[in-house]
Amino acid sequence: MINVAIVGYGNLGKGVECAVSQNDDMQLYGVFSRRDPEKMQTLTGVPVYKLDEILKHKKNIDVLILCGGSATDLPVQTPLLAKDFCVIDSFDTHARIPEHFENVDKCAKEGKNIAIISVGWDPGMFSLNRLYAESILPVGTTYTFWGKGVSQGHSDAIRRVDGVLDARQYTIPVEEALKSVRNGENPTLTTRQKHLRECFVVAKDGADLNKIENEIKTMPNYFADYDTTVHFISMEEMQKNHMALSHGGNVIRSGKTGINNENNHVIEYKITLDSNPEFTSSVLVAYARAAVRMKKEGFIGCKTVFDIPPSYLINKTDEEIRKNLL
């Protein structure tokens, strides 16, 4: 049995707790949190320990799944904990991945551990599909579409607008763009042509709605380059209709082959998720299995999804997968 521990108990940590229970070769040792364990209750009753006492539990844990945020938690926690544990994280600040990789690699090698970073769906399964498709069809173009789903960053940006009580922002792929890409038309798409942004906003009593709407739609980086719609709703409606964690998206590569590039091929990877955090958690758990196997075989250092042989992810023998899945 693989002994898994969770660091951080938000939506992602709870998702890992559920996902571990679906895998027969794993058991959950505990949750580690900065909060007071006495005041926490886990979904499955698994114990909660203080994060700053985690080293006391070192011998009982095969792999730590780090469920903190990419902004401030993971840049510190992943390298630090990689000195003493095999670790997996879902670090998703794309621009800072090279720097995070270097920091984690140094510490993982120091501790002779495996660390797998940026595991989830993007980065993660979408990255894998970009790589596989580009490897197979080197002459072509890759498109990534996100949604329909809530963007936490964009929702937060709206909440910072004066007069806004709460907000939820959905990123939605433009149907015509998806259709053109799927048809192998290889379109050149602007930011505006790929995604729509739909905002649901609860305003404070007496706030100037036109001013709020204008401020959102002209916000640089977040909204100015998109077709954005703003709906004002009540707090009741927000809580009734906009609490779901569903998400999804597509990676599509369209490429040419043939002596005169006369043949077209389209590869599409599409996910439709009821729960964004639970799906990410499920990916994390599969890679936790891979980390433990790789460490047993003597590998050390920081890895990404690109470095992991697929067979390491599944709870089946090589003979079984060749017979039943190949």
Sheet holding 48-50, edge to edge: 48-50, 26-33, 2-7, 63-66, 87-88, 114-116, 301-303
- Considering only residues 16 to 35 of the shown chain, the ones binding a second copy according to CB under 8 A are 17-19, 22-23
C-alpha separations of 257 from 3, 138, 182, 265 in Å = 47, 9, 17, 8
Q: How far is the CB of 178 from a second copy (least distance, A)?
A: 13
In whole angstroms, the minimum distance from the beta carbon of 182 to a second copy comes to 8
154 near a second copy (CB under 8 A): no
Closer of 132 and 232 to a second copy (Cβ):
132
Phi-psi category of 232—alpha, beta or left, where left has phi over 0 and alpha has psi -120 to 50?
Answer: beta
Is the separation of the CB atoms in 114 and 300 below 8 Å? Answer: yes
Select 207 or 267, whichever has its Cβ closest to a second copy.
267
* Binding track, positions 264-303, relative to a second copy; x by CB under 8 A: xxxxxxxxxxxx--xx-xxx--x--x--------------
The reply to whether 314 sits near a second copy by the rule CB under 8 A is yes
The contact pattern for a second copy, residues 181-210, with x = CB under 8 A and - = no contact, is -x-x--------------------------
CB of 222 to a second copy, least distance (A): 23
Pairing of strands 247-257, 140-146: antiparallel
Q: 200 - beta bridge partners?
A: 168, 231
Candidate residues 35, 94, 112, 211; the one interacting with a second copy per rule CB under 8 A: 94
Q: Which of residues 4, 66, 201, 305 is near a second copy by CB under 8 A?
A: 305
Site for a second copy in 99-138 (CB under 8 A): 101, 118, 123, 125, 127-132, 134-138
Distance CA 33, CA 7 (A): 6
Using CB under 8 A as the binding rule, the residues of this chain from 35 to 54 that contact a second copy are: 43-44
178 binds a second copy (CB under 8 A): no
β-pairing, 63-66 with 301-303? unpaired
Pairing, β 26-33 against β 140-146: unpaired
Q: How far is the CB of 201 from a second copy (least distance, A)?
A: 27
Tokens representing 266 are: 């389209």
DSSP annotation string for 264-286? EEEEEEEEEES-HHHHHHHHHHH
Residues 207-266 that bind a second copy (CB under 8 A): 257-259, 262-266
Four-residue CA torsion sign, 104, 109, 111, 117: positive
Task: Give the binding range for a second copy (CB under 8 A) out of 65-73, 149-157, 191-199, 304-312.
Answer: 304-312
Between 53 and 307, name the residue whose CB sits nearer to a second copy.
307
